[in-house]
């Protein structure tokens, strides 16, 4: 009885030392000031790193030099660095006492396209990709993410009295091919290294610099590739009765499949199917013997995705049956899954980021592109994925109200972030987000 009472009292005492609400919140203004002071001296190096990576981009799974640059930066900060995780990936670990493991992810890869910004640090580099030579350009802004990632690591190491636990900074290859996250996981990311308690990633885009966009729940779309081959019977264009016309089947499918969107899917749920390519035939007087369609299917929710895939398959088969053709070949290639932001992780970071950024931190609807950070979420890492802007606020406002030109977005050859305020926002927001997660876990939530 006394032992029971003692245990009860001890547990009550423990509760009293860790009251969840009474514990002092992070002193955000003080931390913000410290981060800004640290950035003031760190920025010139981050700027040089950014411009070097920007001028020498590397394509998916070829990011050897980029990975080596990041590995060297992290080693210099005292991280334990492992290279070649998932071909070209980097894992950098920093232990700072007992506490949770918090992951911060950047991508390493650029795109196979020519940069046309005319910037002094523009890329003129080329690479061999799928057997042919191509220009390479950091037009998705992953170079901004890398500079912010290194800057965040540096800032957190400088602030190591403010947190306890482990930093796990990962640099992921081949995001653009939706293959790098899978490659790192398959290479033991969460078995050879600690499995993080919380994860963060950011992406830049054509909004105003200094702003942060975030959301709870669905953050980006599921992407599936669609490949259909309709089999017909070729013949003379003037004698269609002797043929089975696959061009007719392809045309009918492209139109009819939209009724899956408009009549079968719940109209309040997001779902898109676009057929981006049709390959069939050679000349106007020849009915070809097959037609190939290539498309993309985008959804947010698994149940909507399942419904659309079933409808697409049924429509393709029905179109062939109507033409008395053999069944078509249908292949759905699973791409990136939707990134689902964890309500608790976002809720904690949101308070801290709102205190630091005020109304420049806004909740926005999910984006319809896709992102393979979802692989880490689906492997069990509760996460927050947020977005930062890259352009002068005045130019963004003018583009929005129609008094200025549209600004180039990601994957445009003209995409040109303004480095300093963009990277500084990335570092500040990511540092505060990580600190919020350490603080939340320290409170035992
Ligand atoms: Zn991209
Ligand atoms: Zn990207």
Span 423-440, pLDDT tens digits: 999 999 999 999 999 988
pLDDT in tens, 363-398: 999 888 889 999 999 999 999 999 999 999 999 999
CA of 329 to the centre of ligand 1 (A): 30
CA of 193 to the centre of ligand 2 (A): 25
Contact 15, 384 (CB under 8 A): no
Mean pLDDT, residues 415-424? 98
CA of 378 to the centre of ligand 1 (A): 20
At 367 the pLDDT is: 84
pLDDT at 2 over 70: no
At 19 the pLDDT is: 42
Contact 243, 277 (CB under 8 A): no
Distance CA 105, CA 89 (A): 11
Distance CA 415, CA 293 (A): 31
CA of 162 to the centre of ligand 2 (A): 31
pLDDT at 25 over 80: no
Torsion sign over Cα 224, 227, 230, 236: positive
CA of 234 to the centre of ligand 1 (A): 40
Strand order in the sheet with 80-85: 80-85, 89-96, 165-172, 101-107, 198-208, 383-391, 212-214, 361-363
pLDDT in tens, 136-182: 999 999 999 999 999 999 999 999 999 999 999 999 999 999 999 99
Name the band, by pLDDT with cuts 50, 70 and 90, for residue 239.
Answer: very high
Q: What is the largest CA-CA distance in the chain?
A: 100
Contact 183, 107 (CB under 8 A): no
Distance CA 332, CA 441 (A): 41
Name the band, by pLDDT with cuts 50, 70 and 90, for residue 441.
Answer: confident
pLDDT at 20 over 80: no
Distance CA 92, CA 150 (A): 11
Q: What angle do CA 153, 156, 160 make, to 5 degrees?
A: 135
Burial of 438 (0-12, 13-18, 19+ CB in 10 A): buried
At 22 the pLDDT is: 39
pLDDT at 5 over 70: no
In DSSP terms, which residues pair with 334 in a beta bridge?
224
pTM metric for this prediction = 0.85
Tell me which residues have their CB within 5 A of the ion that is ligand 1: 140
CA of 140 to the centre of ligand 1 (A): 4
b/e map of 67-103 (b: 16 or more CB within 10 Å)?
A: bebbbebbeebebebbeebbbbbbbbbbebeeebbbb
pLDDT at 7 over 90: no
Phi, psi of 207 (to 5 degrees): -85, -175
At 368 the pLDDT is: 85
Question: What is the helix (H) or strand (E) element at residue 199, kind and residue range?
Answer: strand 198-208
CA of 128 to the centre of ligand 2 (A): 20
Burial of 282 (0-12, 13-18, 19+ CB in 10 A): exposed
pLDDT at 6 over 60: no
pLDDT at 121 over 60: yes
Six-digit token string for 407? 């600004």
DSSP result, 299-354:
ESSHHHHHHHHHHHHHHHHHHHHHTTPPPPEEEEEE-PPPPEE-HHHHHHHHHHHH
CA of 175 to the centre of ligand 2 (A): 7
At 444 the pLDDT is: 63
CA of 17 to the centre of ligand 2 (A): 44
At 21 the pLDDT is: 41
At 24 the pLDDT is: 52
pLDDT at 10 over 60: no
pLDDT at 15 over 60: no
Distance CA 145, CA 180 (A): 16
At 369 the pLDDT is: 85
pLDDT in tens, 334-359: 888 999 999 999 999 999 999 999 99
């Amino acid at each position: 009885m006394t032992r029971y009472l003692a245990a009860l009292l001890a547990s009550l005492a423990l509760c009293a030392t860790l009251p969840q609400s009474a514990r002092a919140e992070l002193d955000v203004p003080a931390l913000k000031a410290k981060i800004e002071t640290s950035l003031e001296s760190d920025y010139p190096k981050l700027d040089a790193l950014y411009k070097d990576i920007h001028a020498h981009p590397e394509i998916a799974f070829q990011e050897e030099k980029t990975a080596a640059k990041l590995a060297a930066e992290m080693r210099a900060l005292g991280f334990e660095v492992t290279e070649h995780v998932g071909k070209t990936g980097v894992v950098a670990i920093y232990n700072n006492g007992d506490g949770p493991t918090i992951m911060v992810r950047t991508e390493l890869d650029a795109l196979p396209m020519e940069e046309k910004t005319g910037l002094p640090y523009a890329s003129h580099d080329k690479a061999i990709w799928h057997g042919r030579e191509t220009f390479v350009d950091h037009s998705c802004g992953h170079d901004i993410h890398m500079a912010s990632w290194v800057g965040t690591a540096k800032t957190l190491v400088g602030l190591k009295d403010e947190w306890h636990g482990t930093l796990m900074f990962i640099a992921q290859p081949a995001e653009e091919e939706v293959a790098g996250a899978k490659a790192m996981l398959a290479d033991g990311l969460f078995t050879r290294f600690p499995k993080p308690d919380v994860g963060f990633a950011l992406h830049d885009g054509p909004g105003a610099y200094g702003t942060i966009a975030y959301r709870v729940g669905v953050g980006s779309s599921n992407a599936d590739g669609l490949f259909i081959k309709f089999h017909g019977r070729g013949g003379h264009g003037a004698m269609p009765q002797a043929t089975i016309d696959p061009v007719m089947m392809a045309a009918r499918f492209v139109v009819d499949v939209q009724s899956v969107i408009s009549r079968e899917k719940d109209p309040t749920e997001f779902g898109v199917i676009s057929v981006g390519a049709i390959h069939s035939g050679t000349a106007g007087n020849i009915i070809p013997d097959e037609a190939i369609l290539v498309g993309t299917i985008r959804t947010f929710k698994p149940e909507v995705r399942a419904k659309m895939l079933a409808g697409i398959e049924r429509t393709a088969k029905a179109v062939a049956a109507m033409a008395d053709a053999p069944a078509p070949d249908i292949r759905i290639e699973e791409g990136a899954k939707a990134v689902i932001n964890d309500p608790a992780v976002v809720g904690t970071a949101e308070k801290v980021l709102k205190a630091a950024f005020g109304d420049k931190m806004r909740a926005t609807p999910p984006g319809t592109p896709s992102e393979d950070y979802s692989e880490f979420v689906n492997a069990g890492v509760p996460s927050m994925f947020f977005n930062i802007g890259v352009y002068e606020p005045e130019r963004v406002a003018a583009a929005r109200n129609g008094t200025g030109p549209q600004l180039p977005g990601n994957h445009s050859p003209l995409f040109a972030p303004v480095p300093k305020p963009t990277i500084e926002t990335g570092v500040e927001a990511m540092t505060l987000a990580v600190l919020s997660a350490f603080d939340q876990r320290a409170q035992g939530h």
